[in-house]
Each structure stands twice: as C-alpha cells, then as structure tokens.
Structure 1
C-alpha cells in the first residue's frame, strides 16, 4: 500500500470514503451530509492533511476524481503511518467485506474513524424492511471492532451507541472512542445560480398562501410518521381547523398503503400536497413560505430539516424525543402521543400563532457545513472525545 508519493515529508492523507455516493446519489439526508461535508473539506482542507475522496473498488480502496479528488480515477490508494481513513458514507454492504483491508490499513499506521448516523434499524426494527436489523448490525459490529473512534451526529446517537456497545461486548484490541458533532445547514448555497421551482411546484406554492401550511420533509418511511400526521390533519379538518399539510419526500419502504392514501385523498391539491421529487429550489421556497415545520418522526439521528427551517425562521412543531430536544432546545413547540394528541397540538399551535406566543426558531443555534466539518475533524485531530466505550479485550 505504500507508494513513492508517501515518502518522508509527504502530506498526510485524509481518505474520505464515498463508496455509496460514488455509485449513486439517492438524494437522501445522508447523501446530502456526505456531499456537503466533502465540499467543505475540499474547500478548506485541514492543516497538514490532503483530502482524498476514495471508494471501495472491490477488495481494495481506490481514489476517485469524480467528487473533487486530485488523484487518478481508480488508482489504488497508497498510504503511510499517520494517514486517516474517514468512513463518511454509510456503507453497510462494503465495510463488513473489507475487514482484512482495514486490518492492513491499521498495520500501516492508518487511523480508522467512521460516522454513525443512527441506530434506528436496531432500536426501531419494526419500522424497517425485514433483514435491515442484521444487515445494519454486521456493519456496526465491524466498525466497533476495527475503528479507533466512532463519530455520531448527535449526543443522543452517541448515548444510544454507548448503551449498545455495553450490551454487545465487542472484542477489541484497545479502547473505542465515541464522539459527536452536529450537522450544518446552507441550502441556499447548494443551489446553482438562477435555480427556480418548476412550474408545477410554483403552482403548489401559490395555493399555500390560502391558509397556514405545515411542512414535513423526509423520505416516506414508517418512522417519519406521515400516516399519523395525516390522521391528525383529517381530525383537525373534521373539527373545523383550517391548515394545509405539505409532504416533501420520495417514496420509501413499507409505505405502499400510505402512498395510495395520499394519491387518492379528497384533499389532495386542496389542503394536502405531496411533492415526491421536489427540487431544492422548491424546498427553499417552502421553508420561507410555510407556517411551520412538522417534525413527527418516532426516531432520528439528528433531524436536518430542523436547522434548515431555523435558518429561515420557520417555527417548529416537533415530537418530544431526545434528539429533537438536543437540537431545538426551547426554540420549538413539542408534542407526544398519537394522531389525536397531534391534532390537539395542531389546534394549540394555531392558537399560539394567532396570539404571537410561539418560540422564535430564529434563535435556534445552527452552523454552516464548514463549521460542522471542522467540528468533526477537531474531535479526531485533537482527540476531543465524548466518552470511552466499554471494551472487552481479546
């Protein structure tokens, strides 16, 4: 693995794994984080490190020039002691197959670090496709056994990871460090110059001016609780409440019934809107135009729409779960329970809006992607970890 360019005095490498993004950008929240974090790292490389995007090339890792890398596309990586491998992309298929590759990297003195986005396939298995839990568990077992440190995207995820590590009793050669950082938000900066919503999106935006609109952002999947939100809005409408529900998200798993329910709904195009392929330009306008962000998820690793909404001063109505409290603090209104409780929370929220007593989302702290990437690297470079995980020595 060592090469001539890695001789004495050469700049250390930050090898950023993009194995999934390199194959296909599915426009998920994770892919948005990967794209923006990489962009920030390339724009402002950390002192003494050369940022090198890499991918799993089948039994070895290779450089990629497709995402801003400077090395020849497809050239096998060449490493030396002091280099850093950052598993930025979530790669449950590739990483477990590359245990021998990572062991070899470690023998060459490369530090191994992986980002942990959440543990939801393990904590909410019924809300994922069959087989997701063991598939994800293989990845987590692998990185927990091999990594020097795991970087979570919130303190809530770090605490869940530490609890899992304690009961999993992972055998390791040394202590495992666990840290956390928060995500960034800069949707406007991601848009190409002159980007604008499509005509169909502009028609939806025009209709939203008629009444307060609650915006939900995220792939249709069970844990996002879109079905429960729709239950709540149907109850709100029957009770005389007048507000719109706007769902921005592509179809996901286990939601065929929900998709048909949305498409067949009597309020579709009136007080219910589903944008399965909304452009970023349309999403930006929705953040600026809607009355509130509705974050109804039963579980999240972070909740990127929360800070995107705050960046645009959009008030937030969120389920009372630890990660949302961590991100929003006192700058959101919280609810708990099922559709009936959410309908009541919607009524109360509308009353507070009329009275001018809603929390000011603009006061919610948020950061740019550059600051987020700097915080991620600070943990690694300065060894500023949150906690050490329980370790079972071989």
Structure 2
C-alpha cells in the first residue's frame, strides 16, 4: 500500500477503502476521507504548499472563482488521500496580516460538522514551504506580501492566479472601488509571484502582453502557466435527489418537449450580454416564436437596470424565466432540459458554464471571443459581438439540426478535470524547485 495512504486506511470503512484503492466508486465523497477526527497522522515530510483561501472562508457562493477554488481544493484533498502526491497541502487564511490554518473551509469542502478538524492555528513559514494565492484575494494582497517575502527567504516559491485582465481594457464594466484595488494589486502580484497561473491560454497570452508593456523587467523573472479547469454540475447529477422550486418546475413542465429552451448561466452584468440576448428573444417572440429563455445567476456589478428589467419582464413565467441562486440540482435539471447554452458575453477570462453545458451534452451559442474559440473550437456556434442577425441565425442553426448532431457537437468540446488542474499547479511548483536547485552554486 502507498505509505501516505496507510495513515488513512484504519479510519476508513472497507467499502470506502476499496473505492479509493480499486476505483469501485466513480464519484469522490469527501466524507469518506477523514470520517473521524481521531485519525492521527505523522507530520508531513517534504514540501508544504500553503493555499490562501481567505475570501472563500466566509463566501459560500458556488459560481465563478469560488467554484474554481473549491474544485482545485477538493482535487488536492483527493490526490493527498490517494497517496499520489508528496506535497502537504495546507489551506490558509489571513487575519490581520498573519496566516492561520483554514479548518472551517476544509470542513465545508469535506462536508464535516464545524469544529471536527479542531481550531485554526497560526502558520509558521519555514524551509520547504511554497505559497499560492488562488482565490483573488486582491484587497488583502498587501498583507500577503510579507508572507511571500518570508517564503522566498526560506527558499520557497510564490505564486498567484490571474483569471482575467478585463479591468485594464474595459474599466467601465467595473465599480470604481474594485478598479482601484485591481489596478494597484496586479503590478504588485507580478512583482512578488514567481509563478502566475492563468485559467486559459488566452488569459496567459494577455498577461504576457501586459507584462511586456508595463513591467518588462519581470518578463524573465515570472513564469506564466495555465492550469486545467474542470466541470461538475451537481454533486449527484445522476440521482433523483433534490427539489425544484415551484416556479421552475411549472416552467419546465409547461415547455415539456414542445418548446425549446435556451439557457444562459452567469452573473447579471452588462458585459455578460443578457440585455442583448433578451432583445433578440423579445423580437422573436413578437414574431410569434415560442422558444423559451432561461437566465440562471444573481445580480452582479452595475446591473440595477438590467436586474429590474429581468425581474419584472412581462414574459416571466411564460416564455422567460430568471432563476436566482439556483441549487446544484436545479442547475443540472435546467441544463438537461435545455436545447442549447448561450453566452453572448462581451468579455471573459475563461467561461466555465460553457464547459459545464458541454458536460451535460448541450451545444453552445457563443459570441466570437478568443477564449471561447479556445474552449469550444469548431464545436461552437459563433456570432460576432452585438450582431442580432447573426445571433438569430445561430439559434435557427441549432434548432435545424437533430438531437444526435447537437450531442455530437457538445461532446467534441474538451472537458478538463480539477484533478489535472491540481497536478498542473503542483508540477509547476516542482519545476520551480528543480530550477532553483540547479541555479544554486
């Protein structure tokens, strides 16, 4: 048996042990690991990766960045439990400039009762430690800099994640307070990070161009890397567990197999293009078309007027539905009942819902953004930004093909895994450590 796994074997039921050793269960249940707080383990040997999840400790949102952080964090846990990595991963948070363990976040990931893993303790940075800011902790990055400095002084590697650089190119999409923090922090992040992880090759290329223009001295000092993005819609997607809110159930039942449903999953923001798509569908409805439109998300920045328009839309509950704060079960059911996913966004760093739609076997109608070309390739139904006629043609194109062809198009989109993303991150740290050893006299 793999040595690191021996520490967990006695605490795991035989079924769970077999599942982990022989793959008899496809899905990862975090409660199978660490079923009891009585499990005792030896101090970790080798390197330790400190993963800053400060923003996620109290943030229970399940979309966007929190979803990515949770996916990677769970993958770290699984890789550790299976003995596939020697690096000890420690989730940490900042409190008044000091790093502490983030046990409550771990408990939430593993679905353990609060307090199971004990009290948070102060983290002492020492030789063998690396650090990663994964959760867009921009407003506290100045407090992280001393931690990064201590890690570097101890011979470790520092790293951060950049999801996009849209605030530099389109500042009108963002509130002023966020802009001030973002534009101040990114240069500091580039200066203090040995590795900058990006969520897509498109974002990596944009980051390289930004560094070349603004901090050319850092071009050879920071490594830019891309880590895989996974997709997982619903914890028990194949089960019948869960309930639909009455309004949603009535909407899906009313559409049945008679009226095709098109769905957009994202925050309500001007850059996401919900206003554009709603304009197009209103025109189609005025022409007597009966397609349904579903928006899944919540109110985001600069969306007051859009939010009121959507909430009070005259077609709401008939040909249009807005599902706010959808559960995992509801989201999975909406995807399954949709004929296609739409994303008329004006700017993205990645676009996780596109991959999640493909995971559920749904084709995607997309604005012609470079990152969407990267993700969907030839499988996407693309239209130029803010071109209603082209968008209409792609809606009709999806309706014109049979269900088998729609499924084929969806299945041709590559779906990454959080497991591979976690390995990408760990491999980048390992390569940095190897490079450092070779450079020492």
Normalising by structure 2, report the TM-score.
0.79
Would you say 1:136 and 2:171 are equivalent positions?
Answer: no
**Count of residue correspondences:** 378
Q: Distance in 2 between matches of 1:159 and 1:374?
A: 21
Q: Distance in 1 between matches of 2:128 and 2:188?
A: 22
Q: Which runs of 4+ in 1 moved over 6 A?
A: 190-193
Contact between 1:64 and 1:72, CA under 8 Å: does it hold in 2? no
Counting only pairs closer than 5 Å after superposition, residues 1-394 of structure 1 correspond to structure 2 as 10-45=45-80, 47-68=85-106, 73-169=119-215, 175-189=221-235, 194-209=241-256, 210-338=258-386, 340-353=388-401, 360-383=409-432
In structure 2, do the counterparts of structure 1 residues 192 and 239 end up closer, same or farther at CA, with 3 Å as the change threshold? closer
In structure 2, do the counterparts of structure 1 residues 113 and 246 end up closer, same or farther at CA, with 3 Å as the change threshold? same
> What CA deviation, in whole Å up to 9, does each residue of 1:322-345 have, x standing for no partner?
100101111111011325235433
Contact between 2:195 and 2:225, CA under 8 Å: does it hold in 1? yes
Q: Distance in 1 between matches of 2:164 and 2:204?
A: 9
SS of corresponding position for 1:306: helix
> What CA deviation, in whole Å up to 9, does each residue of 1:31-67 have, x standing for no partner?
0111121011011125221111000111111112112
Contact between 1:246 and 1:273, CA under 8 Å: does it hold in 2? yes
In structure 2, do the counterparts of structure 1 residues 355 and 217 end up closer, same or farther at CA, with 3 Å as the change threshold? closer
Q: How far off is 1:74 after superposition?
A: 3.0
Q: How far off is 1:197 after superposition?
A: 2.6
Contact between 1:336 and 1:342, CA under 8 Å: does it hold in 2? yes
Q: Distance in 2 between matches of 1:370 and 1:9?
A: 21
Q: How far off is 1:101 after superposition?
A: 2.8
Q: How far off is 1:378 after superposition?
A: 2.4
Q: Distance in 2 between matches of 1:221 and 1:355?
A: 31
Q: Distance in 2 between matches of 1:284 and 1:327?
A: 21
Q: Distance in 1 between matches of 2:173 and 2:44?
A: 51
SS of corresponding position for 2:379: coil
In structure 2, do the counterparts of structure 1 residues 198 and 237 end up closer, same or farther at CA, with 3 Å as the change threshold? closer
Give the unaligned 5+ runs of structure 1: 1-7, 385-394
Q: Distance in 1 between matches of 2:399 and 2:248?
A: 29
Normalising by structure 1, report the TM-score.
0.88
In structure 2, do the counterparts of structure 1 residues 96 and 192 end up closer, same or farther at CA, with 3 Å as the change threshold? farther
Contact between 2:199 and 2:226, CA under 8 Å: does it hold in 1? yes
Q: How far off is 1:352 after superposition?
A: 2.9
Paired position in structure 2 for 1:387: none
Contact between 1:153 and 1:180, CA under 8 Å: does it hold in 2? yes
Q: Distance in 2 between matches of 1:185 and 1:72?
A: 31
